[in-house]
Chains A and B, each alone.
Chain A
Amino acid sequence: MSAPLLHVSHVTKVFGGPKPVTALQDVSLVIPGEPATITTVVGESGSGKSTLANAILGFLVPTSGRILFAGRDVATLRGREWLAYRRQVQAVFQDPFSVYNPFYRVRHVFDTVIRRFELAHSRREAQRMVGEALEVVGLRPELLDKYPHQLSGGQRQRLMMARAYLIKPRLIVADEPVSMIDASLRALILGILLRLRDEEQISFLYITHDLSTAYQVSDEILVLYRGRVVESGDAQKVIERPEHPYTRLLISSVPVPDPRVRWEVGRMPEDLDVD
């Protein structure tokens, strides 16, 4: 059994202020070193899923607990090690527009990482790499010279995935990558996720509130509710044989696209006491 790629160990995060908020409470998860997997964290708003993503990406430090990447505590990385971490762990975010600097053409996104991570040693090599990344996501090179507002949301999101692919990280944190994309394009983007896992051995931490997409792409699922993990395990098992009442509630609330199978009349969420 190889060392885990990512080990989130009993992480708690409390945000201070007049009324302290516990965003994460004793959360643990493990992403194995091999084979590449897609681990999904499912949670609604207030579950702490974004806080978890930010902690793993190094944007905030846990109040207690540790986040270990390939055995090293992320909070202790500095300088060159920090840059190396950045190279190994990348992200795709929810809003495909705000992640682009409106001042530059979209090629800026690639040029920046090629330069910073020294991914190519010549212009030609850089061009070839970018071309290949675009092919993986199904985009034409002509799009590189456009400005962000000239592309559609789906194209922008795919471009971000191409950027992540270019860096060839070991782990990509995908925080709601398709929730702002049209339904008919979601399969396309999730398909890219699967291909990157299978062909490039890139693992994913997929964060979403949408159980259906989680079911389709995940190997493992963790269900987060109010900062705690209430259920975890093999994706198929969690969805098909859920144990925790909250998981069951989540699953039964997903609207099935079949008019013959309608929701049972449920209780109001405020009435529920799931702790």
Chain B
Amino acid sequence: MKSSHAHDAEPVLAVRDLQVMYATAHRGVLAVRGVSFEVRREETLGLVGESGSGKSTTAMAVLRLLSPPGRVVGGEVRLQGLDLLRIPERDLRRVRWRQISLVPQGAMNSLNPVMRIGDQIRDAIEAHEGHQPPGRLRSRVSELLETVRLDAGVARMFPHELSGGMKQRVCIAMAIALNPALVIADEPTSALDVVVQRAVAQTLLTVKRQLGMSMVLIGHDMGLQAQMVDRVAVMYRGHIVEIGPVLRVFEQPVHPYTQHLIASVPSLRARQPLRAAPSLDPEEVRFEVGRLEEVGPEHFAAVGRREG
């Protein structure tokens, strides 16, 4: 995966050959098998795949937040030059949230139900910056809420008083509180209704543009990816099978799995005739993963012949 000549600046995040294994009593399985990608300044990279693809595991591995029995067994992760996998935990904690942060899957359900929103945001800030003068903190919380287009009064509310979309925007506010260079959003809109999803997705994009951040958007909805990302990486069973500018990947998908994913999005514009009932159980169909090779400008697909 080469960094293109067109972008002079160093990528904000560079992942090379990341491998994550889940080890159990009988066997170990590689959930992430040598994944490499870059995220450039102010760009949104989509990481799309279905269950079992390893996309969430990749995100957790980048932040070293994997819980056992998962662990990273290979590769490197460079955040603005810093190798995240090898620095001591103490330094990593300083990097987390200040330079790279996460909106985890199901974040809105992990808000503390007995704490007011404002206090939770304040806690998140203080956990990473140390104690702050309360006045200054209050105005920061207000600013954050405004950035995610929530009323300042939300700070005094409890999570159960907010709708799903509002809670999710609170989580986004927490993730951007320290103005990181990169935010990883793991399925940020999955549990939301379609109208609210659009609002939250657009909030995310607005925030990102306003603060000049980069973003990794993890999801399984190709439609959402098409709307939100600059480049997209398609994951399948622990591999990246296609990666490239979003327009190219959607217009000319090369890898069969990518084509399959795109075709699976039901259209709202034309009613398609029913596909013939398959003779083979489609869940048992496996796609071939070849070597990544360049199939267009900055567009790579895993269709190359494997050696050995």
Contacts and interface: CB of A to CB of B under 8 A. Distances in A.
A and B touch in the complex (CB under 8 A): yes
Given A215-B271, A263-B227, A187 B196 contact: no
A66 interface: no
Contacts of A259: 226-227, 246-247, 250
Given A255-B227, A256-B227, A215 B266 contact: yes
Contact of B261 (A183, A211, A263): A183
A153 B51 contact: yes
A40 to B, nearest CB: 13
Nearest to A267: B199
B223 A255 contact: yes
Nearest to B285: A184
B274 interface: yes
Contacts of B277: 138, 191, 195
B198 A253 contact: yes
A152 B265 contact: no
Contacts of A186: 264, 266
B197 A184 contact: no
A51 to B, nearest CB: 16
A152 B283 contact: yes
A257 interface: yes
Contacts of B166: 270
Contacts of B198: 253, 255, 263, 266
Interface string A239-263: 1000000000111011111111011
B275 interface: yes
B250 A211 contact: no
B195 A187 contact: no
Contact of B220 (A182, A209, A210): A182
* Interface range for A: 35 or more
Interface string B204-248: 000000000000000011111111000000000000000000110
Contacts of B221: 183, 255
A268 B226 contact: no
Nearest to B202: A265
Contact of A257 (B165, B194, B195, B222): B222
A140 B246 CA distance: 38
A255 B222 CA distance: 9
Contacts of A182: 50-51, 220
B11 to A, nearest CB: 22
A74 to B, nearest CB: 29
B91 interface: no
B67 interface: no
Contact of A183 (B193, B199, B227, B265): B265
B161 interface: no
A216 B266 contact: yes
B149 A268 contact: yes
A45 B167 CA distance: 15
A138 B284 CA distance: 11
Interface in A117-162: 138-140, 152-155
Contacts of A138: 277-278, 281-282
B262 interface: yes
Nearest to B206: A265
A139 B223 contact: no
Given A212-B268, A255-B227, A269-B165, A184 B50 contact: yes
A254 B265 CA distance: 11
16 contacts: A44-B194, A152-B283, A184-B264, A186-B266, A187-B264, A209-B193, A210-B194, A212-B265, A212-B266, A215-B267, A216-B266, A249-B195, A253-B197, A255-B197, A255-B201, A257-B265
Given A194-B274, A255-B198, 10 more contacts: A138-B281, A152-B283, A183-B220, A215-B266, A215-B271, A255-B223, A255-B227, A256-B227, A259-B247, A269-B163
Interface of A: 44-45, 138-140, 152-155, 182-188, 190-191, 194-195, 209-213, 215-216, 236, 239, 249-251, 253-260, 262-263, 265-266, 268-270
